[in-house]
Amino acid sequence: MKVYALGGYEEVGKNMTAIEVDKKVLILDMGIRLDRIMISEDTNLQDTSTKELNRIGAIPDIAPLKRKKVVGVVVSHGHLDHIGAIARLARRFKCPILGKPYPLKLVASILKEERKPMPNPLFEVQDSSVTIGPFDIRILPVTHSIPQAGCVVVSTSEGDVFFTGDYKLDNHQRLQKPLKFSELKKLDIKILITDSTNVQNEGITPSEKVARTLVSDYMGMIEDSDKGIVTSTFSSQVERILTIIDEAERIGRKPVLVGKSLCKYYGLALEMGIIDKPVQMIRKRDALESTLREINKKKDEYVVLATGSQGEQDAILSRITDRKLPYTFGKDDTVIFSASVVPNPLNMAARYRLETKLKMQDVRVVKNLHVSGHASREEHRKMIRTLSPDYVLPCHGAPDMLMSMAELCNEEGYAIGSQALVMRNGQSISI
Ligand SMILES: [Zn+2]
Ligand SMILES: [Zn+2]
């Protein structure tokens, strides 16, 4: 078996790994790295050529797969760092894209947005396994921060591969049941390819239940206020959005979703029956202005959920703050960020700018009512011990994160270099 590290081995972003058995290749995820697009000032995704995206390091370099027989692309979940390059790269391979329904619907919507028809068929994987060439593929539901995330198990004649995708071990999510550890114990894993993003955090990542409590307690604090409340989280964090909606209703206000991406992720989850709580959603420009004008007249009747938790300049929250939309912040209005700042200098600067502008308008800024979607060190230890793989390949991280994962493996008895494998983008290894 040969394993290719193609993206996500030097950064958090543009994730892509491939495995080769019997001269057939299966690709696991095909993501994009958005900060590389953000730094190039005039670059916008739709108008940038695939060649240019490759040059600036925004998508994985697929050169190592040249002349290889690729039989399928499996997506672990619907975040852009896992599916965002499909519209650009998948057409090079005449093969299906496989995944759970929600991420596949997101793939289809990106293709529409980028106006890219795609020859590859989309194939939904349900509970049972799917066989393509020498690969028998299963997707096990796992908790993360977007609906229908999964760990991918690939059985082959040369042993089994366990690809975690992004995960945390959370026993208290409303939209996703915990990973079944009894099932995992039965597997005979040759290689574990694992998310390393938060391995440097000691202990375990707090449950989504904690985020629910944080949001609920704060909403309780301002329950009797007659001022405006605007909240923002990651648009794909559907469970969190649901929490904010519930809390808004609990304090007697009407929740309204404002912004294209927020409505896209929530609307899709509604349409697919993942959630069953319809709310008012504003995505079109003309409706946006008139609705915000209405809300502005009776701020105390609404909780606005807006896009822009990272301070993105074209998102709703920044546009309100910059007085480009007819909702005006006033003294003692509250803006709640139920999201962390993605730790890169661009996001940090954008968020700093936004928060400062809000404070200059006497708005109360509430931050970090949030928990991460990525496992911490002890969750990873549990995964390694349960699966007891022959090899571990850390992925989804900058080199220091991958090294920290290798160190954890070393604590668990794996030799760094020969059993805990630290790879860079573009490298491959035969095991
Ligand atoms: Zn990711
Ligand atoms: Zn993710």
pLDDT digits (tens, 9 = 90+) for 163-173: 999 999 999 99
Average pLDDT, the chain: 96
- Average pLDDT (31-56) is 84
Domains and CATH numbers, the chain: 2-201+373-430 (3.60.15.10), 208-366 (3.40.50.10710)
Both structure tokens of 139: 């997707």
Query: Ligand 2 centre from 145 Cα, in Å?
Result: 7
Q: Could you say which ligand is closest to the alpha carbon of residue 12?
A: 1
Q: pLDDT value at position 41?
A: 64
Q: Could you say which ligand is closest to the alpha carbon of residue 167?
A: 2
Query: Ligand 1 centre from 79 Cα, in Å?
Result: 6
Both structure tokens of 127: 């509970």
Query: Ligand 1 centre from 375 Cα, in Å?
Result: 12
d(CA 305, CA 373): 20
Both structure tokens of 174: 């409303």
Asked if residue 178 lies in contact with residue 144, where contact means CB atoms within 8 angstroms, the answer is no
- Average pLDDT (97-120) is 92
Percent of the chain past pLDDT 70, that is, above it, reads: 99
Query: Ligand 1 centre from 225 Cα, in Å?
Result: 38
Q: Could you say which ligand is closest to the alpha carbon of residue 372?
A: 2
Tell whether the model's pLDDT for residue 232 goes beyond 80: yes
Q: Could you say which ligand is closest to the alpha carbon of residue 234?
A: 2
- Average pLDDT (368-387) is 98
What's the pLDDT tens digit per position in 174-206? Answer: 999 999 999 898 899 999 999 999 999 999 999
Q: pLDDT value at position 278?
A: 97
What's the pLDDT tens digit per position in 405-418? Answer: 999 999 999 999 99
Amino acid at 189: I
**String of b and e for 124-152 (b: at least 16 CB within 10 Å)?**
ebeeeebebbbbebbbbbbbbbbbbbbbb
What phi, psi does 227 have (nearest 5°)?
A: -100, 175
Residue 30 CA, chain-centre distance (Å), reads 13
What's the pLDDT tens digit per position in 134-156? Answer: 999 999 999 999 999 999 999 99
Query: Ligand 2 centre from 180 Cα, in Å?
Result: 19
pLDDT band at 422 (very low <50, low <70, confident <90, very high): very high
What's the pLDDT tens digit per position in 287-339? Answer: 999 999 999 999 999 999 999 999 999 999 999 999 999 999 999 999 999 99
Beta partners for 298?
Answer: none
Q: pLDDT value at position 97?
A: 98
Q: pLDDT value at position 43?
A: 67
d(CA 9, CA 401): 9
Q: Are strands 135-141 and 150-156 parallel, antiparallel or unpaired?
A: antiparallel
Query: Ligand 1 centre from 377 Cα, in Å?
Result: 17
Query: Ligand 1 centre from 340 Cα, in Å?
Result: 15
Both structure tokens of 375: 């496992």
- Whether the model clears a pTM of 0.85, i.e. scores above it, the answer is yes
pLDDT band at 286 (very low <50, low <70, confident <90, very high): confident
